[in-house]
């Protein structure tokens, strides 16, 4: 990757462009989110036995580098032909679960399984797997097919009310893959979200974040170290990535970047409506045998629906330690094809 360019970027868009134009030398192992994906019917980890997946795909590169634009169907197909029969079987199992409705969930540290969004015979990029399950979505769509007046009310933001909202929405509503109706914060807090400790954020989402290594507000920060794999060589280990994001409802960004490199911040003043800014700083460091945690504080002011009371805007603070993260007992047996 062009770390010199990435070290000079000041916003997330330029960073994304830099990543897209960078050369890819191989794949990272499985990350902590994927490692906790389980089959809903058995709670068996979906990725339990595919430890060599990223290594198998790295073999097909033959010491060549490529960019995202090189990832053609032919390239991927040729790479796929190099994997072992056992790996092919495991990949087909993953595909089956990723393209079957209500098939997988996220296993949290407290032992609960939070259902994840999947669809029958389809993988929807940006929606599948990385959103909580919209349990009543099909029921809602069936209602609209039968009653066009109800669909019109939904499109106009007048469908949900105190009487019917809990029939279709639950406490994890903020992480549904699709939100078409304008549900006000006040209505949600009085109904589907009435037991949420953190306003719009359901406790299931909180437990997922805690399992990923985040610290819930007012709870002690964990000094637990996460390891991806001690036996692999990752050149990027010499770089410390410090990411601090402040999200507020603003009309125009009034930015005052903090110039301290240890805790770079983007401060957004005058909250009114809709801008999210991110500052990223990359420092070159000498790699050490034992990884050191790189703490980052993230203050999140959640965006609100159009109809909201600004006086009631509550700040939710979340602390997260950034490292090459995976489970507490991570080992080299669970890996995947996350690109570096």
Q: Is 297 part of any domain?
A: yes
Same domain assignment for residues 257 and 312: yes
Q: Is 223 part of any domain?
A: no
Does pLDDT of 208 surpass 80? Answer: yes
Closest CA to 96 of 146, 137, 46: 46
Mean pLDDT estimate for the chain: 71
Determine contact, residues 213/226, Cβ cutoff 8 Å: yes
- Helix/strand/coil (H/E/C) assignment for every residue in 67-88: CHHHCCHHHHHHHHCCCCHHHH
Instruction: State the Cα–Cα distance between residues 264 and 280, nearest whole angstrom.
Output: 7
Q: Is 107 part of any domain?
A: no
Name the one residue in this structure whose structure tokens are 């990884």. 291
How high is the pLDDT of residue 299?
A: 35
How high is the pLDDT of residue 171?
A: 96
Give the Å distances, CA to CA, from 185 to 168, 182, 295, 313. 16, 9, 31, 10
Same domain assignment for residues 84 and 27: yes
Same domain assignment for residues 60 and 135: no
Q: Is 211 part of any domain?
A: no
| Residue 310: domain span | 235-322
What secondary structure letter does DSSP report for 310? G
Residue 189 φ/ψ, nearest 5 degrees: -65, -30
Determine contact, residues 138/107, Cβ cutoff 8 Å: no
- Helix/strand/coil (H/E/C) assignment for every residue in 18-51: HHHHCCECCEECCCHHHHCEEECCCCCECCCCCC
Where are the extended beta strands (E) located within 249-310? 275-284, 294-300
Closest CA to 230 of 336, 339, 324, 340: 324
Same domain assignment for residues 243 and 185: no
What token pair was written down for 83? 């994997």
Confidence of residue 157 (pLDDT cuts 50, 70, 90): confident
Interstrand relation of 294-300 and 316-322 (parallel, antiparallel or unpaired): antiparallel
Pairwise pLDDT comparison (198 vs 271), residue with the higher score = 198
Q: At what angle do helices 137-146 and 148-155 cross, to 10 degrees?
A: 120
Does pLDDT of 11 surpass 90? Answer: no
Q: Is the dihedral of CA 229, 239, 277, 249 positive or negative?
A: positive
Q: Is 149 part of any domain?
A: yes
Same domain assignment for residues 282 and 314: yes
Q: Is 219 part of any domain?
A: no
Instruction: State the Cα–Cα distance between residues 208 and 220, nearest whole angstrom.
Output: 17
Instruction: State the Cα–Cα distance between residues 91 and 72, nearest whole angstrom.
Output: 19
Same domain assignment for residues 119 and 91: no
Same domain assignment for residues 34 and 91: yes
Interstrand relation of 113-115 and 104-107 (parallel, antiparallel or unpaired): antiparallel
Burial class (CB within 10 angstroms; exposed 0-12, middle 13-18, buried 19+) of 239: middle
Does pLDDT of 293 surpass 50? Answer: no
What is the pTM assigned to this prediction?
A: 0.63
Same domain assignment for residues 11 and 52: yes
Does pLDDT of 179 surpass 90? Answer: no
Closest CA to 53 of 339, 338, 335, 340: 335
Same domain assignment for residues 88 and 124: no
How high is the pLDDT of residue 223?
A: 76
Same domain assignment for residues 122 and 92: no
Same domain assignment for residues 93 and 15: yes
Q: Is 208 part of any domain?
A: no
Pairwise pLDDT comparison (36 vs 223), residue with the higher score = 36
Same domain assignment for residues 266 and 318: yes
Domain count, the chain: 3
3-state SS class at 215: strand
How high is the pLDDT of residue 226?
A: 61
Closest CA to 111 of 207, 198, 195, 202: 207
31-50 pLDDT, tens per residue?
778 889 999 999 999 986 55
Determine contact, residues 184/191, Cβ cutoff 8 Å: no
46-74 pLDDT, tens per residue?
986 555 677 777 787 776 777 777 777 77
Q: Is 218 part of any domain?
A: no
């Amino acid at each position: 990757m062009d770390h010199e360019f990435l070290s000079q970027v000041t916003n997330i868009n330029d960073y994304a462009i830099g990543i897209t134009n960078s050369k890819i030398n191989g794949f990272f192992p499985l990350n902590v989110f994927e490692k906790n994906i389980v089959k809903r019917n058995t709670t068996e980890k979906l990725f339990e036995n595919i430890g060599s997946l990223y290594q198998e795909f790295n073999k097909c590169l033959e010491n060549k580098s490529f960019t995202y634009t090189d990832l053609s169907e032919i390239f991927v197909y040729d790479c796929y032909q190099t994997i072992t029969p056992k790996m092919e079987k495991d990949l087909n199992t993953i595909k089956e679960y990723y393209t079957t409705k209500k098939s997988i969930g996220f296993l949290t540290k407290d032992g609960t399984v939070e259902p994840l969004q999947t669809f029958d015979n389809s993988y929807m990029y940006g929606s599948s797997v990385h959103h909580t399950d919209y349990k009543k979505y099909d029921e809602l769509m069936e209602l609209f097919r039968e009653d066009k007046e109800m669909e019109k009310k939904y499109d106009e933001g007048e469908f949900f009310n105190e009487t019917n909202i809990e029939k279709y929405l639950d406490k994890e509503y903020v992480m549904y893959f699709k939100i078409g109706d304008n549900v006000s914060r006040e209505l949600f807090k009085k109904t589907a979200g009435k037991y949420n400790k953190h306003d719009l954020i359901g406790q299931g989402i909180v437990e997922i974040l805690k399992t990923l290594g985040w610290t819930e507000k007012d709870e002690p920060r964990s000094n637990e170290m996460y390891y991806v794999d001690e036996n692999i060589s990752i050149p990027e280990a010499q770089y410390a990535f410090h990411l601090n994001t402040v999200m507020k409802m603003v009309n125009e960004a009034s930015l005052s970047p903090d110039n301290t490199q240890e805790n770079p911040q983007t401060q957004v003043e005058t909250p009114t409506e809709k801008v999210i800014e991110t500052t990223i700083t990359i420092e070159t460091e000498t790699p050490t045998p034992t990884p050191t945690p790189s703490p980052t504080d993230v203050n999140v002011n959640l965006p609100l629906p159009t109809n909201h009371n600004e006086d009631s805007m509550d700040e939710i603070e979340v602390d997260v330690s950034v490292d090459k993260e995976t489970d507490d007992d991570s080992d080299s047996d669970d890996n995947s094809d996350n690109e570096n």
